[in-house]
Amino acid sequence: MRIKKSRENIIFDIIVYGILLGMGIMTIVPFLQVITISLSPQEELAKYGMHILPQKITWAGYERVLSYGPIWRAYLNTIIRTVSGTALSIMVLILGAYALSKPYFPHRKFWTLIIVFTMYFSGGLIPRYILVNNVLKMGNTLFALIIPGLASGFNLIIMRNFFSNISLSYEEAAKIDGANHFQILRHVYLPLSKPIIATVSLWVGVGHWNEWFDSMLYIRDENKQVLQFVLRKLILEGTSVEEEMAAGTQIFVNSDTMKMAALILSMIPVLMIYPFLQKHFVQGLKLGGVKE
């Protein structure tokens, strides 16, 4: 039986869908404009108005970015950094969150307070540089890009709160069967924590993928630079670039075209991975089995 909506409900639905439509347009239009600018030649960009769909297509911007020598090595360095950094971070966060989620953990409130303290206060950039470069001797290595940010206080607290919502009845049942803490973590907590692990993994991975400032600080060897730093250098140095065409003519690659092409190339891996992790965001906490 179809329920007839009142006038107030119809007005409310119109307002809600109108707001959602407006938010969708504000999200999609800039993205389309980025793609269009990356594919548009100089004469199209010189025209007045917003460019939503490309009228003429040129791949000169992408060719210029991809022909830049260090970019492929930088891509590999960024992939290594992102994969290894995310895996190590998730491992450390899981172990730390599991321990802090236990009510019987000694001085639990004190250690939680210390972690929260680091979210608001830090030693600063100069002490961190001295520690990483001079004390730990990790300068000019990929370790300098991974180890200092291995465990984020915010991510640790988020994961700890998730683990705290998992009933201790699971742990008690596993202990009766003779399981130790590592077995409990592996066979009980991890299967129930896929949503939060996927979410935090995406946060950490995107953070590693987009980071360039620490590469500028610690890396001196050009072969060890990451993608975002190389793209930044390319954009700053390649404001107006001439390219020789096969017929002997010259074209100018607009700086905006290069910037947008570099932006799209840096976004592709994240856009490819996100759909596989998105399904875990909406799962929520599915404990089941235990009734409070």
> Domain limits of the chain?
1-58, 66-292
**Distances from the Cα of 183 to the Cα of 177, 179, 191, 198, 241, angstroms:** 11, 6, 12, 21, 59
Give the pair of three-digit tokens for residue 137: 């001797």
Mean pLDDT of the chain: 81
Q: Is the model's pLDDT at 209 over the cut of 60?
A: yes
Whether the Cβ atoms of residue 37 and residue 51 lie closer than 8 Å to each other: yes
Q: Is the model's pLDDT at 239 over the cut of 70?
A: no
Residue 40: partners with Cβ closer than 8 Å, 6 or more residues away: 51, 54, 55, 56, 57, 58, 257
DSSP 67: T
Task: Indicate the pTM of the whole model.
Answer: 0.76
pLDDT category at 2 given cuts 50, 70, 90 is low
Give the pair of three-digit tokens for residue 63: 């060719």
Q: Is the model's pLDDT at 287 over the cut of 50?
A: no
pLDDT category at 18 given cuts 50, 70, 90 is very high
Mean pLDDT of 87-115: 91
Q: What is residue 249's predicted lDDT score, i.e. its pLDDT?
A: 38
Torsion of CA 280, 285, 289, 292, to 10 degrees: -170
CATH annotation of 66-292:
1.10.3720.10
Look-up of token digits 């993205």:
31
pLDDT category at 283 given cuts 50, 70, 90 is low
pLDDT category at 238 given cuts 50, 70, 90 is low
pLDDT category at 288 given cuts 50, 70, 90 is very low
**Distances from the Cα of 122 to the Cα of 47, 62, 159, 225, angstroms:** 48, 40, 21, 26
pLDDT category at 21 given cuts 50, 70, 90 is very high
Q: Is the model's pLDDT at 259 over the cut of 70?
A: yes
Q: Is the model's pLDDT at 167 over the cut of 50?
A: yes
Give the pair of three-digit tokens for residue 193: 């924590």
| Max mean pLDDT range (9-23, 63-77, 161-175, 249-263) | 9-23
Look-up of token digits 């984020």:
152
What distance in Å separates the CA atoms of residue 34 and residue 45, rounded to the nearest whole number? 12
Which comes out higher in pLDDT, residue 250 or 235? 235
Q: What is residue 251's predicted lDDT score, i.e. its pLDDT?
A: 45
Q: What is residue 19's predicted lDDT score, i.e. its pLDDT?
A: 95
**Distances from the Cα of 276 to the Cα of 199, 239, 270, 279, 280, angstroms:** 11, 37, 11, 7, 8
Q: What is residue 48's predicted lDDT score, i.e. its pLDDT?
A: 64
Residue 241 forms beta bridges with which residues?
253
Give the pair of three-digit tokens for residue 29: 């239009």
